[in-house]
Every structure is written in C-alpha cells, then in structure tokens.
Structure 1
C-alpha cells in the first residue's frame, strides 16, 4: 500500500489488494476480489468488479467497466476470472468480462495493449501482447487474438474466431472466420486482401521472409486449403511459414479466410 493514493469519493471494498503506487481517482468502485498491481491508475468513475487481476502500470480511463459478469445467458454466477497484464491503456467506456464455466473460466489479456474507447472484450477470450483494438471494436466470446494484432474501428469479431499474430483488420469489418498470421483483412464481410506488409516491415521482417510468406499463400490458394498446408508443413520452411502452417493445422471452431486464387 506504500504511496497508494485513493480519492475520498472512491469506494475500495474490504478484501481488495492494492500494489505500491496505485492511484484511484474520484468515484471509482473497486470490488472485494480485485487485485491491482504496482502503479495501476484508475482515472475516475472506473468500475472494477469480480475476481479480476490487473497488471502493473496499467491505466484505465473514465467510465470503463472491467470484470462485470459475462453477457451470456448461460452464466449462472459461477466463479470465473479476468486477468489483465501489465502496461495496458484501457480507454473510456471499455468493457471486459470474465470467463464462463463452459469456456474454461478465464478471460486473459496480455501486456502493452491499447484498447480504445468503447471496445468490448467478451467472456473466455484470450488477447495477446501489444494488441490494438481501435474505437468500438467488439470481440465476441471465446476468441483468440494473438500478439501484435491491430483491429480497425467499428469492427466485429465473431465468437470462436482466431486471429493470428501480426494480422491487421481494416475498419468496419465483420470477421467470421479465422485470420492467418500477418494477413490483411478488410471489407463489410472480411476478405483476405494479402499480407500485412506495413506490420511486417515495422516488426523487422526481411525481404526473404516476406517473399517466403507470399510463396506460401500462393501454394495455399490452390486445391484443398488444409491438405496444401499439411503438404507444405512436411518440407523445409522458414520460421514465419511454420507459424502460419501451425496456425492452420491447429484446433479451430471456424473456417478460414483464405488467400484469393
């Protein structure tokens, strides 16, 4: 509790655990099972409820509601959790829900994310590190969003969809199928547009890696998608190709957004 600052109008219920240097602004409400890491800041009018853990130096802006019960009619009050990592920026009116018994009981958010105003992260999602959800993105239940994904504003992610590392989703896109790592997807009903070249270059991918990914996508565009992936996986591939192939051959509840033939 050293150096912790709590505004007199805030309510911090008995049982809540606060790390060093936590700052809780006016009219916030922190529930009895909440754990705030060192340096967490709740700006004002923030509600943190349920069995919720928030990692060090995360900042939450006014009117966010974190840890409220899942928006799932099957939820019957079972004990489930929400775990948020370190150094996230969670902006105004963001909502994040804990898991459900049917989905494993845990919603997990990684480190260093930016969740812009009015985003929603539903029950049983797994969100990776350095993810950006732009304003009003809605992520439905049981989704997996891997590291370094950017989802454009006003987009929706269908339940059980997986989005691979480094993918970029354009604004106003409805994503109803799995998105390959490093893919660029856009359109009212998301369509595979090619590689996320801007993201790859920002992360330091060299021309050889990018050329190999292009060759892989061309191979996957012909014939049976999974059969082509299995055949390619049996040969020698680059680490980035292996990442895409492992994603395709991994467990999934959805179909795939596929490269155009």
Structure 2
C-alpha cells in the first residue's frame, strides 16, 4: 500500500493499512498510526507523530520548520496529531519552536485547503478551520469551534469552544465560548444558537448564555465587575461556568462588542 514512487525513510514507523501515494515524502523518525492515508506529494517531516484514521491530502506539509525568530535552525521540532483528522490540500502545519513543546492537533478536526497552522498551536477536537485561514503561533483553538474562510487569528489568542468566527475576520483578542464573531476587527455578534441547538443545548441554557454575554458586553460593567455580577444574576450551569473560567483566564482581554468604537 506504499507507492514505489514515494519516499519513506527506513526509520519511519508506519502502522497497519497505511496508504502512501506516489511522490509522498516521509522523513526519518515519523510515526504514523493505523489506517492513515498519505496522498501524493504530501510531506510528513521529522518530529511528527500521528494517530490512526487520518487523511493527509496532496501537497500538505506537516512538521515544517517554525517561522519564528526564536527558533534556532537545526533544533528538533514536534507535531502531535490525534485520530480521524482530515488535512486537506496545501495545508502547512509548523512544528514547535522548542523541542520540549509541540504543535498539537487533536481528534476529528477538518482542516481545509491552504490553512497555515503556525508553531506551538493547540487545536483541540472536532474543530473546522476554513479555506485559507491562518492560525498564528501559540494559539489555542478549543473543541467544536469554527474558523471560516480567510480567518486570521493573532498570536497567543484563545478561541473558546462552540464559537463561530465568520469569514475574513482578523482576531486579535480571546474569543469566548459559544459566540459568533463578525466584522473587522472581529467583534461580538451574538450567541451561536444554531450550533448549540444542534448539540442539544436547551432553549433555557441558550437564553442563560445570551444573558451572560448581555452583562459582559452591554451591562456597563468592567469585565472584572461583569464576572462578579454574572453568578448573582444567571443560574449556574456547566456552560456559564465555562464562560466565567475562560474570561477570567483572558490575559489580553476578549473581543469587543460590535457597537463599541
């Protein structure tokens, strides 16, 4: 199941039922789990470990040298990829800047054509990264979030779970869970209710999420005061706790409201 026209280093480790297409390139030390498909002209570079059931499409490069001024040429890098990911054509995933860290892609993510994922990014599980999106170094993209076509996420930004960033947005601050962002610079445009209903969140929970963000964005409170007011006014649930924990951890602030200057 390995094309004679592919290059697979003898020290690479491939699991069972792995398919490698013509002109694919797999370097020394790469580990690829069972039932993966590496299509033609894809490059899997040293320092990459991949779980099972992944498909890497044509011309993708995984484990590229980080484009980071702190990177010392020749230092080993690391990319860790989970299971059942779809990594489409022309995607570039850079390795970590330092050997004791890693660029991490979790499970069941859909990474579309021409996406660039920079050094030390952590994409969790079941995320969508749209065509031509760019995720800068050391970002965190949490579960089930959607980055639409052409989104640019600035370095160190965290994107909360079940959030939706609309096409073409430039994101410079943390994106709280369950929200929709739009415009440039990206700003809060409401709660991602369609997706939340799709994953069986009740109307009551969605209403509480909306009211939580009403306090944060239109309650005339500082962010710190809003965090204190929310438990007083909103019934606690897993989702509200998730929002509070995320906002408390926002070192560089969160995205603004669309009506702010």
Shift of 1:165: 0.3
Cα-to-partner distance string for 1:142-165 (whole Å, 9 max, x where unaligned): 100000011110110000000000
Displacement over 2 Å in runs of 4+:
77-80, 230-236, 258-261
- CA RMSD between the two structures: 1.6
Partner of 2:223: 225
Partner of 1:87: 84
CA distance in 2, matches of 1:186, 1:53: 35
Partner of 2:108: 112
Shift of 1:132: 0.4
CA contact (8 A) 1:79 1:105 kept: no
SS in 1 for 2:10: coil
Shift of 1:209: 0.4
Q: How does 1:88-103 map to 2 (within 5 A)?
A: 88-101=85-98
Partner of 2:207: 211
CA distance in 2, matches of 1:47, 1:27: 9
Q: How does 1:12-27 map to 2 (within 5 A)?
A: 12-27=8-23
Q: How does 1:1-261 map to 2 (within 5 A)?
A: 5-76=1-72, 77-101=74-98, 105-221=101-217, 222=219, 223-233=221-231, 237-250=236-249, 252-259=250-257
CA distance in 1, matches of 2:62, 2:175: 27
CA contact (8 A) 1:121 1:138 kept: yes
Shift of 1:226: 2.3
Unaligned runs of 5+ in 2: none
Q: Kindly tell me: are residues 233 and 99 of structure 1, through their superposed partners in 2, closer, same or farther at Cα, counting changes over 3 Å?
A: farther
Shift of 1:193: 0.3
Shift of 1:234: 7.1
CA contact (8 A) 2:24 2:43 kept: yes
CA contact (8 A) 1:160 1:253 kept: no
Unaligned runs of 5+ in 1: none
Cα-to-partner distance string for 1:217-239 (whole Å, 9 max, x where unaligned): 12222211122113435785111
Number of residues of Structure 1 aligned to a counterpart in Structure 2: 255
CA distance in 2, matches of 1:190, 1:94: 24
SS in 2 for 1:241: helix
CA contact (8 A) 1:226 1:248 kept: no
CA distance in 1, matches of 2:80, 2:150: 25
Cα-to-partner distance string for 1:98-156 (whole Å, 9 max, x where unaligned): 11129x62110110011110001110111010100110000000100000011110110
TM-score (norm 1): 0.93
Shift of 1:73: 2.2
SS in 2 for 1:229: helix
